[in-house]
Structure 1
Amino acid sequence: MCDVISPGWWSHFPRHRRRKANQEHTISTSDPQGGTPGESRNDLSGSSRDVVQAGNVSGGIHFHHGLAPGGSGPVPRQLPADVPGFVNRVAELRQLDAVLTDRDGAEVVVTVNVVAGTAGAGKTSLVLHWAHQIKHRFPDGQLFVNLRGYDPGEPVTADQALRGFLRGLGVPTAEIPRDIDTAAALYRSLLAERRVLVLLDNAATVGQVRPLLPGTGNSLVVVTSRSRLSSLAVRDGARRLTLGVLPEPEAVALLRAVTSGYRPEDDTAKLTELARLCAQLPLALRIAAERAASHPHMRLDDLIAELRDESALWDALSTGSDEEAEAVRTVFAWSYRALPEQAARLFRLLGLHPGAEFSLSAAAALADLPPHRVRQLLDDLVGAHLLEQTAPDRYQFHDLLRAYATGQAQTDEPEEHREAALRRVLEWYLLSADAAQGHISPAAEHLALDDASAPAAPVPEFADYHAAVDWAEREQGVFPHLVRAATVAGLDELAWKLAAALWNARPPSMPENDWLGLGHLGLEAAERLGDIRAQVLLRTDLGRAYRTVNRFAEGLDHLEAALRLVRDGGSRLDEARILNLIGLTHLRLRRLDSAADAIGEAAAIFQDAGEPLWAANATANTASTHLSAGRLPEAEAAAERALAAHRALNHRRGEGNALRITAALHLEQGRVAQARQAAEEALEIALNLRDHALEGFWLLTLGDVQRAAGQHADALTSYQRSAMLHRRLADRSREALAWRGTGQTYTALERPDEAADFHRRAAAVHRELDDTWQHAVELDHLADAIAAKDPEQARAHWAEALALLAPYTDPRALEVRRRIEERLAAGDRAG
């Protein structure tokens, strides 16, 4: 079963326009892999996001991906709003301006600046204020990410930040490479000829930053951190600006700016005293000033006395080792204790939220209050500078405030209330994921959930697939924290259910690798509960996930363990589903007898159970097994049955798969026109489903058909698109199959050197993956490509291929062996 993922640019082209677009672009180099990871140079010409070659085939083909440089695609505008009432920091702003002055007129590559300073010093406010002043000098956009390096929860990884940047630069989420090195290379390529301002906020380590640095071009990177990040200066030439506390006059000016118009002008001496109590840190100063502004008739002496009392309490409890931190906590406590009870309770409960950012509905679930009331309380917290609003109905803490809120929850909220609040929000996420699953994975079985335990917050009702994916995209950052929070709290039933539901509700931008950790946590929770049904479900999902990322041995381990559990007392239908997945894994490994046995057993159970859709799927998988073995009559009969069944059920995904098999059968039987019609119908279904996994796989068949029809330019286009998609899906085996098709096409064009380059690269991948069948087939094609120029090396490749083919006895394997032996014999006679 493949994930439904968002569309790429190709799916928006009507078929007649796709061919025209193909004829307007060329690709300049013959490197079949499209560059090495880490290469920052961009070799593409043309203006399409994914450059394709067709029409008049001249020059080589370079498998690259991404938006073309130089300004095509969207211009990201990711800067958060400027800080209202920003004052002072004049000297620091001048230092930042000097960076631009130094760049003017110089041949600049990339400039990196680190703004370092203590917590609460106003690093983010300074950088954002400056960025808004100079953003016009970066016409290709501004990228921003809060890396949350000092947040109490998990920091944002470079991989996660890269994905956000690539989406901002117009790369569809489904086409973002899963491998971080490949994603970073794509990111560098997109920025190579652009002038972009990149803001990396709250970085804790150089590891969070370095993959986000452009390689070449005229971009500017600004990093904020509590650390000096010294290696950025040593290795990347970063300039550092260290931000201290505000000088007294500037601290007083900030207090006046925030309170101006809300209360009579306060005495400078008293404002100075208030500033000193706030350690002259901007974060504390703004909270204190907001408190004063909201009490215009309260004397400043009284506010200062309250803050002194709070400070004395903290002094008694602290070690005095960090005066600035103690001052900040004092201001937090002073402001928190002034909140109305409901607002204070919401503030501390929000400290229990598993992730750094949360929605209005999640907050309502924590508080067990109606959303309209929670919105009012959130507005109060935002107004008091205790919370930040990041988007409509979405909020986050400053990391210091989140830590403080969590601490207050531990001290001010009874344990049973904390547990109830955490359970409510986890249940809200579980019910929401279940609702999203109905659109994202409609064929997946839903968990049995207790709606009676639903919290006060309403569960989202998604209008369509897009709305469900939008929700999953927004919330995917919290998904890992949900399962971990449930595990730590000992809520094992919630932990495994969340892991299972999130597998089916994950967005296209979330790689299967990111779910594997959640799946294992869920499985461990199910094992602690002794819940066999849950273990079967999680092991089945883990088996599917491992197969998707080509970790077949681990996938089979989980599937076979699930099968043993089911056979000890589970349902026959579960047994059949697991057998079907086992068969598909054996099929990918070309263990054809094992695949046929498992799929055949599954098909019989599906038939007996009256499950027509699953039976049709198993019939199509049977056809694929026969096709791989070269048993064409059996494959054709099974494919016809599967196609008819899926059409009767109006199951488009299954219909497309059956059409792809049918196209391959027609091609082997010499019916090229029928093969092309079936392949194009299959591809149209994949495009309409917006499923890049299906599109990439089925393009391999279309490319084969186009090559057989002598439409070499179209074939190269199909193979290049397939290779690009499979690289981004982290399927190296099928990416290598696309290189094979390209090599065969160049052989047909009588360009053997370029053909050999592609076959060598594909053979190396199959050797590395220990795929003896595909390795042998690739060596056969490589030998064909070089036979005229280097007959001795060709003989060596054929001899190695024969040795690799020895274990295979199916008709197709015997035919390949016979052909190679004939070529070797012909060479002997010629010699």
Structure 2
Amino acid sequence: MGADRDRYRFHDLLRLYARGCLRAEEPAGAAEAARSALHRWLLETTVMAGRWYEPDHGAPPATWQSDVDLSTADRARQWLQGEGANWLAALRAAAAAGGHATVVEVAEALHWFSDQWIFWGHWPEVFATAARSAQALGDPLLEATQVNYHAWALLVCEGRHHDSLDRSAQALAAARRAGDLSQQGWSHKYAAWAYRLLGDPAEAARHNSEAAALFEAAGDLHGALQAMFEHDQLLVHGGRHEEAIRAVTNTLSFLDEVGDRIVPHVAGFTRMNLRTVLGGAHARLGNWDASVEHLRIAVELCRAGGNTAMESRVLVHLGNSLLAAGRDAEARDAFSRCRALGATADPNSLTEARKHLDALVGPKTDGASPSPTSGQGDHSR
């Protein structure tokens, strides 16, 4: 049997033998009933775990009974990641059986959690499946919401910017049919993000302005915060670094003002992104000490939230700024910490960290500075 820490897997031949015994010794109905019960339990637990990260939810209600310890958001995250292959299989089975309401409920519960596990590899499938289920239910608001999530997954997890734009446009049409201002705002927000990454700042700014107005009209504070962050990013991408520093500082002050009206983990995640942008803006201005200070704070925020994907990205930015400041030993430590994060890290960041480490232990270069961090490693919802 293969082992992964305290988890064990049957050898494939043993699996085949057990499957044959099951067919020979147990009635087909009994086996299917047991499988259905397992899938139901997996999806119910997934919803409870994912809701730790959702606005207006948090810890499971006192009436919820289970052997799984979901007493903290960190334990919920560990369960979701440890059981990812199993609850994904249960989600696929629910979709195939026409359990569309269940599929949508699960995907909705995982929306903000997906920020914690960006490079899992299955979010496009999860949200595409949920979008199809929402369409099957005939509810335009559910459709708009899940198609927006799929637009995010295509954009962030797979870098398919044009496909993401197509999906956000479909989500916008559904949100208009539903008359929902908030989901219209999110459609514009994802479009703005895609256009920024495609190098079209004018379209990005136009869509973000639409998003901000819609979030304000809907009273969607979480959306309004992300529109502010997108605006700050656009300033950096436009080379307006001093203006960006002032804008990000104002956004951080806004977060302080609204307090617990923003879900704590969303606030922490956004603070991390804002600090990363500040680090990038200062790097572009050659303010290496300030860049390092903000990026160190961003790393600690990632660690506090258990978000190794974003931690790997920020560590690379931090290493680049340290190198440019001539602090090679500290840079080597940052790149080593990135490389040690393992499978849940950003693969591109791991590759970059390895290249830097190879260069640091090799012959000295001609003194050319590395490219400063640009703040492009954001991941706002």
Shorter-chain TM range is 0.7 to 0.9
Structure 1 position 665 matched with structure 2 position 311: no
Call closer, same or farther: CA 1:494–1:681 in 2, change over 3 Å: closer
Distance 1:533 1:442 in 2: 18
What is the distance in 2 between the residues matched to 1:406 and 1:498? 31
43, 54, 72: which one aligns with 1:442: 54
Counterpart position of 2:298? 682
Matched, 1:409 2:29: yes
Map of 1:612-691 to 2, 5 A cutoff? 612-650=221-259, 651-691=267-307
Aligned ranges 1:81-480 → 2 under 5 Å: 144-145=1-2, 165=4, 167=5, 201-203=11-13, 398-404=18-24, 407-409=27-29, 428-439=41-52, 441-443=53-55, 462-473=70-81, 475-480=83-88
Tell me the equivalent position of 1:716. Answer: 332
**C-alpha separation in 2, matches of 1:486 and 1:728:** 27
Q: Output the CA distance in 2 between the equivalents of 1:613 and 1:521.
A: 25
Shift of 1:750: 5.1
Distance 1:510 1:682 in 2: 17
Secondary structure of 2:277's counterpart equals: helix
C-alpha distance in 2, partners of 1:669/1:601? Answer: 30
Assess, with a 3 A threshold, how the Cα gap between structure 1 residues 633 and 504 changes in structure 2: closer, same or farther.
closer
Give the helix-richer structure, 1 or 2: 2
Q: Deviation per CA, 1:407-459, whole angstroms, max 9, x where unpaired?
A: 34279x9xxxx6xx9887665544422221132x234x77xxxx9xx9x9769
- Asked if structure 2 preserves the Cα contact closer than 8 Å seen for 1:613 and 1:649, the reply is no
Q: Deviations over 1:643-675 (max 9, x none)?
A: 112233452222222222222333333433333
Please say if residues 43 and 90 of structure 2, whose CA atoms lie closer than 8 Å, have aligned partners that are also in contact.
no
- What is the alpha-carbon distance in structure 1 between the residues aligned to residue 321 and residue 82 of structure 2? 41
1:672–1:568 CA distance, 2 compared to 1 (3 A): same
Structure 1 residue identity aligned to 2:268? R
1:527 deviates by 2.2
- What SS is found at the alignment partner of 1:630? coil
2:182 equivalent to 1:560: no
- Rounded to whole Å, the distance in 2 between the matches of 1:497 and 1:718 is 39
Q: Render the CA deviation track for 1:170-193: whole Å, top value 9, x for unaligned.
A: xxxxxxxxxxxxxxxxxxxxxxxx
Which whole-Å deviations, capped at 9, do the CAs of 1:233-286 have from their partners, x for residues lacking one?
xxxxxxxxxxxxxxxxxxxxxxxxxxxxxxxxxxxxxxxxxxxxxxxxxx9xxx
1:508 to partner: Cα distance: 6.4
Aligned to 1:542: 150
Alpha-carbon deviations, 1:71-128, whole Å to 9, x = none? Answer: xxxxxxxxxxxxxxxxxxxxxxxxxxxxxxxxxxxxxxxxxxxxxxxxxxxxxxxxxx
Larger Rg belongs to: 1
Conserved 8 A contact 1:700-1:741 = no
Find the counterpart in structure 1 of residue 136 from structure 2: 528
1:439-480 deviations in whole A, cap 9, x for unaligned?
2x234x77xxxx9xx9x9769672112332343345433323
Tell me the amino acid that sits aligned with residue 185 of structure 2.
A
Compared with structure 1, are the counterparts of its residues 735 and 624 closer, same or farther at alpha carbon in structure 2 (3 Å cutoff)?
farther
After superposition, the Cα gap between the structure-2 partners of 1:485 and 1:659, relative to the gap in structure 1 and judged at 3 Å, is closer
Distance 2:360 2:198 in 1: 26
In the alignment, the residues of structure 1 paired with residue 136 and residue 41 of structure 2 have an alpha-carbon distance, to the nearest angstrom, of 23
**Secondary structure at the residue paired with 2:85?**
coil
Q: Which residue of 1 aligns with 2:379?
A: none
Deviation of the 1:573 alpha carbon: 1.1
**TM-score, length of structure 2 as denominator length:** 0.76
Deviation of the 1:596 alpha carbon: 2.2
Q: Bigger CA drift: 661-670 or 575-584?
A: 661-670
1:334-357, Cα deviation, whole Å (9 max, x unpaired): xxxxxxxxxxxxxxxxxxxxxxxx
Secondary structure of the 1:478 match is: helix
Check if 1:494 corresponds to 2:68.
no
Identity across matched positions, percent: 19
1:517 has 2:122 as partner = no
Report how far residue 711 of structure 1 moved: 0.6
Determine the C-alpha separation between the residues in 2 that align with 1:466 and 1:605: 33
What is the aligned counterpart of 1:585 among 194, 203, 209?
Answer: 194
Report whether the alignment pairs 1:572 with 2:181.
yes
AA partner of residue 674 (structure 1): A
Structure 1 portions without partners, runs of 5+: 1-143, 146-163, 170-197, 204-223, 227-282, 284-397, 760-773, 775-831
Change (3 A) 1:584 1:469: same
How many residues align structurally?
360
2:311·2:345 contact (CA, 8 Å) conserved in 1?
Answer: no
Separation of aligned partners in 2, 1:504 and 1:657: 15
TM-score by length of 1: 0.38
Counterpart-to-counterpart distance in 2, 1:499 and 1:464: 20
Judge conservation of contact 1:513–1:545 (CA < 8 Å) in 2: no
Indicate which of 583, 587, 595 corresponds to 2:204: 595
Contact 1:696 1:722 in 2 (8 A): yes
Alignment-derived partner of residue 695 in structure 1 = 311
* Distance change (3 Å), C-alpha of 1:489 and 1:607: closer
CA distance in 2, matches of 1:478, 1:727: 18
Equivalent in the alignment of 1:393: none
Matches of 1:600 and 1:725, distance apart in 2: 37
Distance 1:429 1:503, change over 3 A: farther
Secondary structure of the corresponding residue to residue 70 of structure 2 = coil
Provide the rounded CA distance (Å) in 2 between the counterparts of 1:664 and 1:521: 36
Match of 2:218 among 601, 609, 613: 609
Q: Which amino acid aligns with 2:54?
A: P
Contact persistence 1:647–1:655 (CA under 8 A): no
Measured at CA, do residues 584 and 573 of structure 1 come closer, stay the same or move farther in structure 2, by a change above 3 Å? same
Q: Distance in 2 between matches of 1:743 and 1:644?
A: 40
Structure 2 gap ranges (5+):
260-266, 377-381
Coordinate RMSD, CA, aligned: 4.3
